[in-house]
Amino acid sequence: MSIRVWIDADACPGPIKDLVFRTAERLQIETILVANQSIWIPASDWISRMTVPGGPDVADDAIAHRVQPGDVVITGDIPLASRVVEKECVAIGTRGELYDDKSVHARLAARNLMDQLRASGMETSGPKPFDQKDVQAFANQLDRTLTRLRKQRK
């Protein structure tokens, strides 16, 4: 069974998509972008897109229902990361965070706590601006993850 990469594409930064496109071509890995709007993808035998209807979590649901054990999901959405990890997949955040059995539950709990604090009126700072360090951290994590998964398949 081959590895597939799924991208939660609606909020995925362009530099991350471009990096994954190059990786998909170089390693010949099937890559599927899922979004609720039509998005550009390069002409490729390895890259495709799935357009889903708009609405809360529609793209997340499409990904979570289709992933198979060993797939990789690129997402900034912690609840989606938790769902795919439960299906024996690996999720990578757009800033290079690895979400696996060891980390995703703690990240989900922290996210839920922050949501509760914001709902109670507490002001919290948003994420720092996306920058080149984030792209590099993502590239390193994607490379480590795909190398490990490809070795496991041999």
Q: 10 Å Cβ neighbour count for 151?
A: 8
pLDDT score, position 112: 58
d(CA 93, CA 11): 11
Q: pLDDT tens, 46-68?
A: 999 999 998 888 999 999 999 99
pTM: 0.86
pLDDT score, position 118: 66
Tell me the one-letter amino acid at 95. R
In DSSP terms, 146 is beta-bridged to none
d(CA 76, CA 99): 10
Q: Which residues of the chain have pLDDT under 70?
A: 1, 104-118, 122, 124-127
pLDDT score, position 131: 92
Sketch out the chain's domains with CATH numbers: 4-121+129-147 (3.40.50)
DSSP alpha helix (H) spans, the chain: 14-27, 58-66, 78-86, 104-119, 132-153
In DSSP terms, 91 is beta-bridged to 73, 99
